[in-house]
Amino acid sequence: MIRWKSLSKFAPSYLQLSRCIHYVQGQSPSPKVREYFYYIDHQGQLFLDDTKVKNFITCFKDKQFLAFFFRMLKKNNTDRYKVDFPYISLCGIERNFVRCDDRPIVYSHILHVPNDDEPNQIKDVLSYGGTADKLTVDFEPEKLCMLPQSGRIYHPAKPKVGGVGLIKSSLAIEISKCFEFGEAGEYAPPTHFTWKNKRYELTNELWDLMEDDAKEELKIQ
């Protein structure tokens, strides 16, 4: 039996409950099926869920494994552990159930890579999964969304993982100076973001993909 409790004040509502979860790492509920359980923290680090001390030493670091794991990650559409482990990464006979502190996709760095659509041009991408340039999405500054209470910043992710990714705190601090707030001040979401001398009006379109508690933060008083 594994018992866990999320202590993050700003974690999604489904992670703020203390639950008793019964599982054994590597259990086989049916022939030729193995089940494992993982946890992703708000820095994007991946751990076995029952690891007692979660830090850089105990997280997974092999980039090839991480790239495959996160590439296969999606919402848990099975009938097992769906509430407590909302995501799953399938690998052959293995079902890898995943829960997270906030979002399963955490963007850690902005990389500058060749633009395949425009020869001799460079574009900005966001890296995730601890894989350097193995897993990236195009950086779309106008779609950034900051929650005013927590200060957490979000960026679009693939629909199969919920459509929303978290910006790692160190990167969020770095780019936070680029935000501009409107007349409502810092108690409301920012209205503009300036990147490479271009001023973007923020769409806040991620609003519709947020949980109800996060949406409350986005409401401008």
The residue with greater pLDDT, 208 or 164, is: 164
109: which strand partners? Answer: 127
The three-class DSSP label of residue 170 is helix
Q: Quick one: average pLDDT of 176-193? A: 91
- Helix H, strand E, coil C: the string for 117-134 is CCCCCEEEEEEECCCCCC
Per-residue pLDDT, 161: 97
Cα-flanking dihedrals φ and ψ of residue 80, to 5°? -120, 130
Q: How confident is the model at residue 20 (pLDDT cuts 50, 70, 90)?
A: confident
Per-residue pLDDT, 212: 57
Per-residue pLDDT, 6: 38
- Are 195 and 201 in contact, with CB atoms under 8 Å apart? no
Task: Report how far apart, in Å, the C-alpha atoms of 115 and of each of 112, 157, 179, 185, 194 are.
Answer: 9, 19, 26, 37, 21
Give the span between the Cα atoms of 36 and 151, in whole angstroms: 33
The residue with greater pLDDT, 8 or 176, is: 176
- Strands across the sheet with 34-40, in order? 46-48, 34-40, 94-100, 87-91, 73-75
The residue with greater pLDDT, 133 or 8, is: 133
Q: Which tens digit of pLDDT belongs to each residue from 160-176? A: 999 999 999 999 999 99
User: Does 195 have pLDDT greater than 50?
Assistant: yes
Contacts of residue 3, Cβ cutoff 8 Å, sequence gap at least 6: 18, 19, 20, 21
Residue 195 burial class via C-beta count within 10 angstroms: exposed 0-12, middle 13-18, buried 19 and up: middle
Per-residue pLDDT, 145: 95
Contacts of residue 159, Cβ cutoff 8 Å, sequence gap at least 6: none
